[in-house]
Structure formats: structure tokens, C-alpha cells
Amino acid sequence: MSSGTADARAAGLPGVSPAAAGVIHPRWVRITHWINVIAMFVMITSGWRIYDASPLFRFTFPPVITIGDGLDGLSGALLWHFAAMWLLVVNGITYVTLGILSGRFRRKLLPIRPAEVVRDLHAALTGKLSHDDLSVYNAVQRLLYAGVIAAGIVIVLSGISIWKPVQLQEFTAVFGGYNAARFVHFFAMAAIVGFLLVHVTLAVLVPRSLRAMILGR
């Protein structure tokens, strides 16, 4: 095998199976994953500061867990939020494009069968779900990963409609108008935060998965 082919396999490029090189997470997955960690952290915490300026519900987020100082308590948060948004968009497009072209999404996330989700969820709740092979996602993982990708798309699109509700009024109307788009945006954020809590918990319970996301193997 040529060194070029070996490098391509390690990078997880389209048409080459990373599993053949013993790679659990190819380089592009690891890079986009950690960029996404930064982008989501900034977006969520600055978004909480923006939410506090005009709450949808009868609660606000403690300032200590939000970011974005400003004279009005909002301008800095908006700057951080939009900067992270563009990072998330570019990184997300890269991740989804490579995930489709490399066949990783097809291999890792499909199929998603309800019966298998119920079976693996029961196994997880009873402590019987195996994590021996980190290269294979169980049905619950497939559902969660597919769901968080969908939530990421929704949060970006609803955020854009909130950002430019007049200029993009037809687009905003798809979400039911400005106010409805804010609720969609909030619940998409809540879904992502819920996913992150589960994701981090599993990384703590199965530390090999964290090592694999750092080292690839």
C-alpha cells in the first residue's frame, strides 16, 4: 500500500474506508467535532444572554453561565453569537458534506429502526448496553446523532429568520413569523443542550470514546 493511500484512509476521505486503517474517527471528523464544541459553547452561552434580554418564559439564565458583556448587556452577546454562528455554519457544511461523500453517514447512522431504538434504550437504562466496539453506533446513538444534526440545521435557519425578519420575511413566515421562530429557535437549542448532556455523560462513563475522538483510534 502506498503512503498516499494510507494517509487518505487515515483522513477518512471519500471512497476510502477508514476502518481498513483501524481508524474509529477519521481526522476530518475529529477536527470538525472540536471546532463544533467551541462554536456551540459560544453560541449557547451568548444565546442565553440574548434570551435574558427578552425572555420567552418566566425564567432567565444566571449571568455567570452566559457570555457577552456590553453597555446594554446585549451588544457583546450578539457579536459573540453571530461570530459563532458563521463558524458553526461553515463547520457544519463541511461536516455534512464530507459525511455524505465519504459514506460515513450511511454506514454510521442508517438504518434507524424503532424496534432497535427501544431495545437499545432498554439495554442502556438497565446497564446492559455494550460499548466494546466504538466503531459501531447502537440504535439510540444513531437516532441521537441524526436528531442533533437536524436540530443544528433548524437552529441555524430559525436564527437567520430572527436575525433578518423584515428582509427575509418570506423565510421567517415558514416558521410561523418572528415570535414563533423564537420559540422554534429556543426549543432547538434545548434539544441540542439535552443531547450534549447525554453526550458528555457517556464520554465520562466510557472514557475510551473520548480518547478515540482525540486520537482517532
What's the pLDDT tens digit per position in 141-186?
Answer: 889 989 999 999 999 999 999 988 888 888 899 999 999 999 999 9
pLDDT of amino acid 161: 92
For residues 97 and 41, is the Cβ–Cβ distance under 8 A? no
Between CA 170 and CA 175, with CA 173 as vertex, the angle to 5 degrees is: 135
The residue among 143 and 15 whose pLDDT is bigger is 143
- How much is the pTM? 0.81
Helices 178-205 and 139-163 sit at what angle, rounded to 10 degrees?
150
pLDDT of amino acid 14: 46
- AA letter at 111: P
- The average confidence (pLDDT) of the chain is 84
CA distance 78 to 50: 7
CA distance 100 to 83: 26
Is residue 7 scored above 60 in pLDDT? Answer: no
pLDDT of amino acid 122: 84
Please state the separation of Cα 192 from the chain's center in Å.
Answer: 7
Is residue 3 scored above 70 in pLDDT? Answer: no
CA distance 30 to 214: 7
Integer angstrom CA distances of residue 185 from 125, 150, 158, 189: 30, 12, 6, 6
Which helix (H) or strand (E) covers residue 206, if one does?
A: none
For residues 91 and 32, is the Cβ–Cβ distance under 8 A? yes
Q: What's the pLDDT band for 125 if we cut at 50, 70, 90? A: confident
The residue among 44 and 214 whose pLDDT is bigger is 44
Please provide the DSSP assignment of 56-78 as one string.
SSS----GGG-----TTSSHHHH
Provide the grid cell at 59: 425564567
pLDDT of amino acid 215: 84
pLDDT of amino acid 73: 62
For residues 71 and 79, is the Cβ–Cβ distance under 8 A? no
Q: Hey, what domains does the chain have and what are their CATH numbers?
A: 10-215 (1.20.950.20)
Q: Is the dihedral of CA 53, 59, 62, 67 positive or negative?
A: negative
56-94 pLDDT, tens digit per residue, is 999 999 989 999 875 556 888 999 999 999 999 999 999
Q: Is the dihedral of CA 34, 38, 43, 44 positive or negative?
A: positive
